[in-house]
Amino acid sequence: MTENSRSADHAGDSQAGSASASVPEGTNARRVFVKTYGCQMNVYDSERMADALAPEGYETTQAVEDADLIILNTCHIREKAAEKIYSELGRLRKLKDARAEAGKATMIGVAGCVAQAEGQEISRRAPVVDLVFGPQTYHRLPELLARAGTGEAVVETEFEIEEKFRHLAKPAAARDGKRALTAFLTVQEGCDKFCTFCVVPYTRGAEVSRSVEQIVGEAERLAARGVREVTLLGQNVNAWHGEGADGRTWGLGELLRRLAEIEGLDRLRYTTSHPRDMDAELIEAHRDLPQLMPYLHLPVQSGSDRILKAMNRKHTREAYFRLIDRIREARPDMALSGDFIVGFPGETDADFRDTMDLVERVGYASAFSFKYSPRPGTPGAKLPDQVPDDVMTARLHELQDLITRQQKAFNASLVGSVCEVLFEKPGRNPGQVAGRSPFLQPVQVEAPESLIGEIATVEITGTGSNSLFARLATGHNVKVATSASA
């Protein structure tokens, strides 16, 4: 169940993916099916759930109908997220009944942010659910399963982030026999920003950072297993301030310098960042570390100072522009990504024009944009002047058209340039291999499959709708893994 084995879009995009490792024929192991909604942190959490269950005799499966345990790892960012989960549970009830008729017991769990927000309501509305647990309690999953096995309706949604970080199961080796080349690594959870549109502080709790020792230890184990690229995760990842072995509090820039020393770990990324936490030390790390990829997701949400204030973002558009200038001065080839919300309560045509102006001035390589959707319990849901849906839709289409043009222009600007690609899998067509660029785009190259797992220099020759095309550069270098175990 590797990072690439599930479909999970960027934070807030409630697309679902499921565990991919198959159960060997003839095994007596119990089977677990994990369906993941939402952000990369949920993907990471699902991986750690599987790790916690492995000592209990559970193997992951792609076939939900064969699962003895089904877990929905949920996301609460998008509109009607809870209702979608209840609809899914209705379908799972029929599956559970059919398996029971065949003499097969099935347990169903709901995890993640919807579980945190809904709690007892899930058990009340969907009695088919055996256990409900929030994102800070999955390290206790074996214990919770044991309690559910006695017939207890288990609901565990207390915040225990520090305990979770102390008891995280170690990442398992690839369960399908394939070497994992990229991995997520959670370093920080929770949020203290309290943006008025966001439910995260209420479902993930206050900001808590893992220690340097915990993070470096996990990164070293990943590198020893062949992982060559690690993405550090956090709701506000650049707010990370962890305790070092020397007793000092480190910042993210210093942590990245330490991770860059790990043999075999050739690429570092991090997401998602907040402009207020982008300090000088972190910007200097981008200047100094070749391992730190030149791609930064730095959400601004709106280009209007009036709307930014209403969102409680606590920065202005001019402060964001100045920050972008400092980042690009340190790393001129930096590609930027962002998040945008259109139709926040009270947003006028003039406010939206400010957003369009900001996007034009910054120039994004990619971005995620959404219509505002009120999240229950957030201040934004109570604000007056909610924007009509048809107005939001029109603004979203206009913004997305601009972002698409910028993304195509950025990709086209790379044609003729040379960059390094980490090759991960066979390409779309025979004779091709596929990898990812420093800027996170998929790249298709005609080359032997022996390059999978390696980093090689390529020349970009063209662009497609969703990827770049390239050829191996003349006299190309291959950066061979130094500590990988296949």
Cβ-defined contacts of 158-161 (< 8 Å, 24+): 158/134, 159/134, 159/205, 159/206, 160/136, 161/136, 161/189, 161/190, 161/205, 161/206, 161/208
Helix (H, G, I), strand (E, B) or coil at 168: coil
State residue 368's pLDDT score.
95
State residue 26's pLDDT score.
43
Predicted model pTM: 0.80
3-state helix, strand, coil in the chain (%, to 5): 35, 25, 40
Residue with the two structure tokens 């409630």: 14
State residue 128's pLDDT score.
94
State residue 313's pLDDT score.
97
Full pLDDT tens readout for the chain, 486 residues: 332 223 233 333 333 444 433 334 444 679 999 999 877 888 888 888 988 898 889 999 999 999 999 999 998 766 677 788 999 999 999 999 999 999 999 999 999 888 888 888 898 899 999 999 988 788 889 999 999 999 898 998 875 555 556 656 566 555 455 678 999 999 998 899 999 999 888 888 889 999 999 999 999 999 999 999 999 999 999 999 999 988 999 999 999 999 999 999 999 999 999 999 999 999 999 999 999 999 999 999 999 999 999 999 999 999 999 999 999 999 999 999 999 999 999 999 999 999 999 999 999 999 999 999 998 889 999 999 999 999 999 999 999 999 999 999 999 999 999 999 999 999 988 999 999 999 999 999 999 999 999 999 999 999 998 899 999 998 767 776 665 443
State residue 450's pLDDT score.
93
Strand-pair partners of 418: 459
Is residue 209 exposed (0-12), middle (13-18) or buried (19+ Cβ within 10 Å)?
buried
Question: What is each CA distance from 296 to 7, 314, 346, in whole angstroms?
Answer: 21, 20, 29
State residue 364's pLDDT score.
98
DSSP assignment of 28-67, as one string?
Answer: --EEEEEEEESSHHHHHHHHHHHHHHGGGTEEE-S-GGG-
Nearest to 108 by CA among 128, 138, 91, 80: 128
Distance from C-alpha of 406 to C-alpha of 39, rounded to nearest angstrom: 24
Contact 330, 283 (CB under 8 A): yes
Distance from C-alpha of 99 to C-alpha of 43, rounded to nearest angstrom: 27
Nearest to 341 by CA among 30, 25, 11: 11
State residue 80's pLDDT score.
72
Distance from C-alpha of 329 to C-alpha of 255, rounded to nearest angstrom: 22
State residue 404's pLDDT score.
97
Distance from C-alpha of 350 to C-alpha of 474, rounded to nearest angstrom: 51
Helix (H, G, I), strand (E, B) or coil at 85: helix
Largest CA distance in the chain: 66
